[in-house]
Amino acid sequence: MKLCLSEGSPGGLKVLAAAKATGVPVELPHVVPFLTHPQLPVLQLENGTFLFSTNTICQYFFRLSGKEVSDFGQEQSDFANQLFEWEATELQPALSTALYLHMAQEKKGEEVLEIIRKPLNYIEQTLTKKSTLYFTGEAESAADIVLWGSLFPLLKDESYLPDELPTLRRWFQNMNLKEHCKKAVESIWTPKGLLALKAYLQKHPAPNLAFEKPATNEPKEEESAQCHLSEEEIAVIADVWSRGPASLPKPWKPQQPVLPLEGMKNVLITSALPYVNNVPHLGNIIGSVLSADTFARYCRLRNWNTLYLCGTDEYGTATETKAMEEGLTPQQICDKYYVVHDQIYKWFNISFDFFGRTTTPQQTTFITAVRIAQDIFQRLLENNYLLTETVDQLKCEKCERFLADRFVEGTCPFCNYEGARGDQWRTEETHGSEGSRLQDSELTARPGPASEAGFLYFHRCLLSSLGKKREGRQPRRRREAGFRSGSWPASEKPLCKVCQGTPVVRSSQHLFLDLPKLEESLEKWLALSQSAGDWTPNARYISRSWIRDGLKPRCITRDLKWGTPVPLDGFRDKVFYVWFDAPIGYLSIAANYTDQWEKWWKNPEQVQLYNFMAKDNVPFHSVVFPCTLLGTGEKYTLVNHLVATEYLNYEDGKFSKSRGVGVFGDMAKDTGIPADIWRFYLLYLRPESQDSAFSWNDLMMKNNSELLNTLGNFINRAGSFVCKFFGGHVPAMELNQDDKRLLAHITLELRQYNHLLEKVKIREALRSILNIARHGNQYLQVNEPWKQIKGGDVDKKQAGTVIGVAVNIASLLSVILQPYMPSVSATIQGQLCIPADYNVLTNDFVCTLPAGHQIGTVTPLFQKLEAEQIENLRKRFGGGQLEDFPLKPKQKTAANSDARLGTKELQEEVAKQV
C-alpha cells in the first residue's frame, strides 16, 4: 500500500498517526502530484483502489492490523460510528472555520475559540461521561486518532484549550505524548508545510458553517436542517432556482437488459430471497424488499445505472415440509407460492428489474443456476477449502430418511417448551442474548454430534449446555449416553413429525466449508468493505462477533432430495444446504435475467453492491457467502454496503400466521387501506437502529396528521389556489428576500434528503420530505395569499409569487416522494401536469413549473382513517380469526384424504423433479 501525503496537511496528521500506531506496512511518499488540495491524503491499496476519506483510512488501518478493539459490544460500535459521523459533519466545519481565522486571517483568542466552544464542550462531556482513558474504552482506537488529528492544528496552542475542560485537556495531552502522534507531527507539521497551508488558505474563501446538526444519529422528529447562510449564498440558490428545468439533466433510461456502463455509477441492489413457502408479513416486507425498493427508486432518480434483483428461495427442508403439510409436491408448492409472492410485491409497488426464483427450468436441467453453484463448489474443492466430516444425525427408520430439524418435535430441555421443532429458536428471555444465540447456533457447524445437519433445536440447547447441571435435569454423561443409545428421557423424547415415530441416531458423511482457512482473506476484505462502504451498525457488529469468536467449519450439504445435487462421488445422494446454495441464487437469478450476468457479478471495479436484509441474515451475507466467493479465487463482486434492519413487531407481540396475529402481505390489500399508505407507515417506523412495533393507533395518527394534515393539505392548497385564483395557470413570480430565504431552506432540506439516502438512512430521509411540506404550509400561513389576492396590485402580485413558489414546492415533493409513495407521486404529477422528464434529482431546487404552466384538476390525496375502522381492523388481525393451526398427521390425512400424497409417494415425486 502507498500512503500519499503532503506537508502541512491537517488530514495527514491522523492518517500517518494511525499508520504508525497500527504498524501497517505502508509506503510514505510526501508528494501527491495529482491532487491540488494539500489537506486531502490518499491511500492506494494493493489492488489499485484509492481511499480518500481520512476517517476511512484510519479505520481501515486499525481493522487491517487487528488492533481495533475486538470485543466491542454493539453499543460501543454504534458510539464509535456516531463519533466518526459527528467529527465529519459538526466538528470539521467548525475547525475549518476556526483554522482559517487563525492561520489565514491571523485572528486570536475568543473570536476563534467561540467557533469551536460547542464541539469542545461536547467532547468534554463525552469523555467525562465515559470515565475511561479513551473514547471507546481503556484502549486507544481509531476514534481517538481521528479526533486528535482533527484537533491538533488548533489545540497545540493551549490557549484554545480552556481550564474548564480538564478531561479533554488530560486526554489531548496524553495523546500528544504517544510516539506515533509525535512522529506524525514531526513529519507533517513542518515549518515549510505550515507556510504552504497558510498560503493555500489565503487563496480560498472562508469556510461556512452551513449546518448545525445534533451529536446523535437519531434526529428529533420535527427537526429540520438548520442553516446559517450568507446573503451571497442565498442569492446563488435563488439564481439556480430561476434557471428552471433547463438546468436539470435528462432522466437516464437504460437499455434492456440493464448492464454496467463505463463512466456511470453502477448500482446492483439485492434484497434477501424470501422463502417461497412463507407468506411475508409486514416485518418481512420492510426488512428487505420495501427498503431495497425505496433505495432503488432513489438511485434511478439520481440517474445512477441501477439493477434491482430478487426472487424466491425454493430449495431445502422448508419446501419439503410445506409440501407434506399441504399434500403437494415440492415443485407444486414452489409454483403456488411464487405466484403469491409475486402478487404481493406487485400490490406493494415493488419495482424489481427482475423477480426470479431458484428453481427455474434452467436450474433443474443443469443449464444456469446449478452450473453456477456447482462451478463454485468445484473451485472450492480444487482450492482445498472443503472438509469431510462424519455427522451423527437423527433418522426415522419408518420413513427411511434422515430428519432435518423441522421434521422433529419434542420438549426443549432449557425452557420445557412442548412441541418445539428442531428449527425453532426461542426468545432471548428464555435462551440468553442474541450474541449467545449466534454462538450456540455455531455449535451446529462443528464436526461431531453437534452438527447442524439434521439436528433438532432442543438438542442444540442440550448440547450447548453440556456440563451444566440444571434443576430437575440429568447431568451431561447420562443425557448424552441416552441420546446416543436411543434411550430418551420421557420429557425430552423426540418424535418424527411425519409419522410420530421415534428417530434413532445414525452417522452420515458431510462436506464442510473450511471457514478458518479463509478467515484471513475475509478479515482483509471486511476491513476494506466496512471502511469504504455504508454498513449498518448491526451488520458491522454481527460480522465482527463471528470473527471475534473464531470461525468454525460450516456444513454445506444435507441428506435431502429437494435441492441442488452435490457433484462429487460419495455425496451424489445429497444436496447443498440452503445457506450455501441460496445466496448463489442472486447470481443465478441475474443469469436468468441476462446471459451477461458476469458483467454485474464479476466486476467489482465498476459495480457497487447493496444487500438489504433483516439482521438475522447478516452472518450469511457478511461471512459465509463472501468466504464462499473468496475461496473460488475468482474476481466476484462482493457486497460494498450491507444494510440490515432490526425487527418489526406487531402491537405488543410478534406476527403469527398460524394464530392469525398481524397483517401479512396477502391480507393488506383487503383492509381497504391503499398500498402507498402501508409503504409510508412501514418506512416511517423502519427499524433502522432498534426494534420497532406496528401499531394500529399509530398508523391512524400518522395517516391523519403527517399525510392528511401536513403533506396532503399543503399540496392540495397550493394546487387549489392556482386553480381558484389564476384559472389553473401558474402565476408570475417576483421573489423578495423572504421568498429567497425560503428557497434556501428548501434547498438545504433537499440536500439533507440526498445525503441521508446516499447513506441509506431511509427513515430519516422521510423526515426531510415532511419538513419541506411543513415549510410550505408555514409559508402559506404567514403570507395568507387568499387575503392578499383581494388587495391592491402589489398584494395581488405578492399573492401570485407565494402561490407560484408553493406549487413549485409541491412539484419538488412529487419527485422526492416517489421512492416512498410512487402512486401518490404519480397522482400529484398528474394533477399538476408535471412532465416525466422532471423526474430527476440533483442537489438544487429549481422552478419546474414556470409562469403560465397549466395544471389539471386538483383533488385530495388522502382520506381520513376513522377510529371505528381502525378498531375493527385491530380485532380482525388480533388473533384467533384463522383456522390455520397445524394439524397432526392423522388429522391432516382425514381432512385432505382426496388430495394428500403419502410420504413414500412424496419422496418419489421429489426424486423425479431433481
What pLDDT shows up at residue 73? 62
Closest residue by Cα to residue 874 from 698, 658, 647 = 698
Report how far residue 445's alpha carbon sits from residue 615's, in angstroms, rounded to the nearest whole number: 20
State yes or no: pLDDT of 479 exceeds 60.
no
Identify the residue with better confidence: 296 or 136: 296
What pLDDT shows up at residue 363? 45
For 21, residues 6+ apart whose C-beta sits below 8 A from its C-beta are 61, 62, 67, 140, 145, 178, 180
Mean pLDDT of 109-114: 80
Residue 306: all three cell numbers together: 441501477
* DSSP-derived 3-state class of residue 645: strand
What pLDDT shows up at residue 67? 67
Report how far residue 642's alpha carbon sits from residue 508's, in angstroms, rounded to the nearest whole number: 36
DSSP code for 280: P
Mean pLDDT of 505-519: 94
Are 860 and 734 in contact by the 8 Å Cβ rule? The answer is no
Closest residue by Cα to residue 370 from 555, 512, 580, 510 = 580
Q: Where are the beta strands (DSSP E) in 401-536?
A: 401-402, 408-411, 418-421, 495-496, 504-513
Residue 6 pLDDT grade (very low, low, confident, very high; cuts 50, 70, 90): confident
3-state DSSP of 393-417: EEEECCCCEECCHHHEEEECCCCCC
Using one digit for the tens of pLDDT, what is the confidence trace for 287-327?
Answer: 999 999 999 999 999 999 999 999 999 998 888 888 888 89
Q: How far apart are the first and last CA of the chain?
A: 49
Find where cell 459521523 sits: 85
State yes or no: pLDDT of 526 exceeds 60.
yes
State yes or no: pLDDT of 566 exceeds 70.
yes
Are 842 and 249 in contact by the 8 Å Cβ rule? The answer is yes
Locate all alpha helices (DSSP H) within 594-736, ordered by sequence: 598-601, 618-619, 625-632, 665-668, 675-684, 696-702, 713-726
Residue 61 CB burial class (10 angstroms; 0-12, 13-18, ≥19) = buried
What pLDDT shows up at residue 395? 86
Mean pLDDT of 430-447: 32
Q: What is the mean pLDDT of the chain?
A: 82
Q: Which phi and psi angles does 540 have, rounded to 5°?
A: -65, -45
State yes or no: pLDDT of 486 exceeds 80.
no
What pLDDT shows up at residue 472? 37
pTM over 0.85: no
Residue 217 pLDDT grade (very low, low, confident, very high; cuts 50, 70, 90): very low
Using one digit for the tens of pLDDT, what is the confidence trace for 873-911?
Answer: 999 988 654 433 333 333 333 333 333 444 445 455 544
Identify the residue with better confidence: 812 or 424: 812
Domains located in the chain, CATH noted: 2-217 (1.20.1050.10), 228-247+677-882 (1.10.730.10), 266-383+525-645 (3.40.50.620), 388-506 (no CATH)
State yes or no: pLDDT of 39 exceeds 50.
no
